[in-house]
Structure 1
Amino acid sequence: MRLTEIKSCYIGPEISPEQFISEHFFLYLAKGTIEGYDGISKYSLKSGEYCIVRKNHLARYNKQKENGEFEKVVMILDTEFLKSFMTKHQIKAQRYEDGASFFLLKNTNLIPNFILSLMPYYNDGGEIDDTFADLKREELLLILLKENPELKDILFDFAPPQKIDLKAYMNRNYKFNISMERFAYLTGRSISAFKRDFASIFSDTPSRWLIQRRLQEGYFLIEKKQKKPSDIYLDLGFEDLSHFSFAFKKKYGITPTDILKSIKKI
């Protein structure tokens, strides 16, 4: 399920598998641990901690249960809501240059108390009725901006991504499993300009280059780090193990499992 298909306020164990963040959202972790990765850095969120996950960025999550449970609260801060809030509260903002996907928020007693105040509004499906959702989102945003004033430059920057260094971006983010249209948008290009610039820089098509680059990394992880194929194929951007194994054998003439077996015999 993608974030754009989810209610603005909800609670539950799900974490969207979508690696492109289409709207900002607030994430409060009630139980468990989340390990996040944005192509540059890794982030860890533990019970009682919270952050903003930024739109027009890439992010991957690994979640771990705590005593068999995983629970979080998510509030989507979509563009329409933020523009309305900006007008109402006469907020002035400027472009925020930091490229991190996760903005870690200062700890304050106001947030845990706010989370507790949400509980009476949730229905059996773990969602807050639209009647109250905007009011609670506005309350949350007022708290966050009071404690984190610099957040306004992140949330109220509505400009599309600027044209950036394509080579550096792709070498940093090739493991993310998103469409070419997403890559084009995030690098500030139309799809035709993205393909044209890509061919000029890499002398290959984006789809072929991505597969080859992921396979190279896979070979390194298996041969040098003795990683199991089943443990790395998702992090490399492959949707299933069979596709990874098939593409791997086609390129190297040997399966990932056979490489592991040969290493263990040495």
Structure 2
Amino acid sequence: MLTKFDTIKSCYIGPQISPEQFVREHFFLYLLKGNISGFDGRKKYLMRVGDYCIVRKNHLAKYNKQKIDGQFEKVVVVFDELFLDEFQKKHKIAVTPQDSSDAFIILKKEKRVPDFINSLFSYYQESGEIDNDFLDVKREELLLILLKSNPPLSDIFFDFGIPEKINLEEFMNRNYKFNISTERFAYLTGRSISAFKRDFKKIFNDTPGHWLIQKRLEEAYFLIERKGKKSSDIYMDLGFEDLSHFSFTFKKKFGLVPSEVKQR
């Protein structure tokens, strides 16, 4: 139990993390209090106190925080491309890019990692950030620890390539619940926005925006009718930002509001 952190809130080191479900930069996540359930379109993940992982850039990821005894705290260290590029040049690290679909890389336990987390206490400020003078020093220290205990991570951290062209139909049918822009979907499938829209039309005979809404609404109807789910419990998981907008579009498509759907 990391008692030194009993009085702090979540700590962030490095550039700000985007609230998008598209991961822009690699980041390290250490769970101090509570649980986290994650999903990357293929797998579900569960993290408990003391667990830690890498969340990979250029991937889709959702995670839900679950408080325990009313508390949830984490440490997040962002490894942005500029920092990683300078680190690679400094340490002369060779890379063999790996093809992996996992957004969450759960790391094996290593004593130096919780020791590192405890060492942050003396640098921690009330703002939830590390003193700027020590920012890159602490990030470099953590990265060295992670690479020593998990050498294959170098092939992930230092691969600065962009996503290659992949099967669009398979990708969209697996990831339609993620709330990201058409531009992000295009990028992740290795296409320009114009090529994405052109290929999308050929495959689905529809526009991306319209298809996504219809696909999400059909899934919502199934979950309400067959699984007895409430709209308030599923709308965000299906990519809708607002419950009232979800209810409006649901009624527009099916002619009734979610609460009027009869369960089977």
TM-score (norm 1): 0.92
Gaps of 5+ in 1: 1-5
Alpha-carbon distance, 1:9 to partner: 7.4
The secondary structure found in structure 2 opposite 1:72 is strand
Any residues of structure 2 matched to 1:115-154 within 5 Å, and which?
Answer: 115-154=117-156
CA deviations 1:124-178 (Å, max 9, x no partner) are 1010122101011111011101111111111010000111100000000000000
Q: Distance in 2 between matches of 1:58 and 1:52?
A: 13
| Aligned residues of 1:24 and 1:54 also touching (Cα < 8 A) | yes
Deviations 1:38-71 (A, max 9, x none): 0110001110010000000011111111211100
Find the partner of 1:8 among 7, 14, 29: 14
Letter in 1 for 2:20: E
Whole-angstrom CA distance in 2 between matches of 1:248 and 1:152: 46
- Does the 8 Å contact 2:232/2:243 carry over to 1? yes
Give secondary structure in 2 for the equivalent of 1:73. strand
CA distance in 2, matches of 1:210, 1:227: 20
Deviation at 1:16, TM superposition (A): 5.8
Is this contact kept in 2: 1:9–1:74, CA < 8 A?
A: no
**Alpha-carbon distance in 2 for matches of 1:155, 1:245:** 42
1:244-255 correspondence to structure 2 within 5 Å:
244-255=246-257
- Alignment pair present for 1:95 and 2:97: yes
Match of 1:74 among 76, 79, 86: 76
Conservation of the 8 A alpha-carbon contact between 2:15 and 2:80? no
Q: What root-mean-square deviation, in Å, do the aligned CA atoms of Structure 1 and Structure 2 show?
A: 1.4
8 Å CA contact 1:9–1:128 kept in 2: the answer is: no
1:219 alignment partner, SS class: helix
Cα deviation for residue 7 of structure 1 reads 5.3
* Runs of 4+, deviation exceeding 6 Å: none
- Number of equivalent positions: 253
Matches within 5 A, 1:115-194: 115-194=117-196
- What is the SS of the residue equivalent to 1:158? coil
Unmatched tracts of structure 2, length 5 or more: 1-11
In structure 2, what is the Cα distance between the partners aligned to 1:47 and 1:16?
Answer: 24
SS at structure 1 position matched to 2:130: coil
Q: CA deviation at 1:18?
A: 1.8
Aligned residue for 2:78, secondary structure, equals strand
| Contact 2:163 2:190 survives alignment (8 Å) | yes
Q: Return the letter of the residue paired with 1:198.
A: F
Equivalence for 1:65? 67
- 2: CA distance, partners of 1:181 / 1:116: 40
Preserved CA contact (<8 Å) 2:13 2:76: no
Alignment identity in percent? 63
